[in-house]
Amino acid sequence: MDSVTKRYPDGTVAVDRLSLDVPDRSITVLVGPSGCGKTTTLRMINRMVEPTEGTILLDGEDIRRRPVTDLRRSMGYVIQNAGLFPHRTIVDNIATVPRMLGWGRRRARERAAELMERVGLDTSLAERYPYQLSGGQQQRVGVARALAADPPVLLMDEPFSAVDPVVRKGLQDELLRIQEELGKTIVFVTHDIDEAVKLGTMVAVLREGGRLAQYASPAELLSAPADGFVEDFLGADRGIRRLSFLPSAALELTTDAVVPADASAERIAASGARYLLVTDPDGRPLGWAEPGELIAGDISTDRLLPPGRPFVPGTDSLRVALDCAVLSPTGWAVAVDAGGRVTGIVSQQAIGEAIRAAHARGRTDQAGVAP
């Protein structure tokens, strides 16, 4: 998208010289306050709105050179409240585009059933009408319908805004999974920065007047907002949210204070730690105790403090590790492997040091300083 401007006939400049390079097979999110031109931008991509100036290229070709019907067929479109046809059943809603493309009824219905499964809908809902589905289910139908003809591009305009936070999280997770499986190029509009940061490979923050404030990856956005507008828009806790993009794999774990429930008196005394983490015979965490409270060979679990939520280094972020440490009754986070067996513990202080080190590395990387 190269220096694209949309001026509506009444003079409103909805989008002002917007240039964006949308990467293939990833999710690009357009985010910003109400009226900043997100929907207009999205609709210029499928030519529901024609730009006043500038060019939009798809695979290097100016979209104005493609017949509109052809262009739209290569782009699934999902809107808020799904926009389903109320008098058609779910399966017929999903099969709409394949039928328009001349597919036989049976093949189109089979495709619809396959897509229902893909978006997490029970196929027993196929013969219902949209009003007989919950908002979240309708949104899933909307996604399935947009995917029906297997378009390479999906345009999504606030698709999950009308559902409650729990359903919304489920829909977001589902979209990330679908994207990973199908490798679609998705342009996603939202006014919710948390949704943008969660879903986006790249995030374009727009400001009033349809101007681009910043175009960056979520991690870059949170660590280096371009200006005060972006910083305000990101909200107060961006420091913590940024930790979601830092891995916990490099945390240094210690096992000195990890003891099995049948530990000897020498082992208990040898740790020298203020708190010991007691594990069961399989190595799973049972709870915390002070060494003086433990009787060798007879550690009764009902006297232990709860172990707290564990984290999995390599899978979980530093944000999760820090959260585990903050919630732990001892201030130490418990690290486990995929099977839930303790691999070590790490203190809040050590996590704090790892965060500082990661930030320092980030600053060096941004400055482009050679080691």
Ligand X SMILES: Nc1ncnc2c1ncn2[C@@H]1O[C@H](COP(=O)(O)OP(=O)(O)OP(=O)(O)O)[C@@H](O)[C@H]1O
Site residues for ligand X per CB under 6 A: 8, 10, 12, 14, 32, 34-40, 191
Output the smallest distance, CB 142 to ligand X, in A.
Answer: 17
Output the smallest distance, CB 192 to ligand X, in A.
Answer: 10
Output the smallest distance, CB 92 to ligand X, in A.
Answer: 29
Closest CB to ligand X among residues 8, 85:
8
Output DSSP code: residue 131.
Answer: G
Closest CB to ligand X among residues 76, 210:
210
Closest CA to 155 of 83, 251, 74, 241: 74
Question: Beta strands 276-279 and 258-260: pairing type?
Answer: parallel
Is 94:123 a contact under the CB 8 Å cutoff?
A: no
Closest CB to ligand X among residues 145, 207:
207
CA-atom Rg of the chain in angstroms: 26
Output the smallest distance, CB 6 to ligand X, in A.
Answer: 8
Output the smallest distance, CB 188 to ligand X, in A.
Answer: 12
Closest CB to ligand X among residues 34, 124:
34
Q: Which amino acid is at 247?
A: P
Closest CB to ligand X among residues 35, 170:
35
Closest CB to ligand X among residues 40, 137:
40
Beta-carbon neighbour count of residue 273 at 10 Å?
18
Beta-carbon neighbour count of residue 357 at 10 Å?
12
* Spatial distance between the Cα atoms of 93 and 267, rounded to a whole number of angstroms: 67
- Collapsing DSSP states into helix, strand and coil, what is residue 163? coil
> In the numeric block, which tokens belong to residue 180?
């990973």
Closest CB to ligand X among residues 27, 95:
27
Output the smallest distance, CB 234 to ligand X, in A.
Answer: 17
Q: Which segments of the chain does DSSP mark as H helices, in order? A: 38-45, 68-73, 90-94, 96-100, 105-118, 135-147, 165-182, 193-199, 218-223, 228-234, 238-242, 265-270, 318-327, 348-367
- Collapsing DSSP states into helix, strand and coil, what is residue 247? strand
User: What backbone torsions phi and psi does residue 37 show, to the nearest 5 degrees?
Assistant: 100, 15
Output the smallest distance, CB 238 to ligand X, in A.
Answer: 21
Burial 301-315 (b: 16+ CB within 10 A, else e): eeebbebbebbbbee
User: What backbone torsions phi and psi does residue 54 show, to the nearest 5 degrees?
Assistant: 95, 175
Output the smallest distance, CB 15 to ligand X, in A.
Answer: 7
Closest CB to ligand X among residues 39, 248:
39
Is 162:80 a contact under the CB 8 Å cutoff?
A: yes
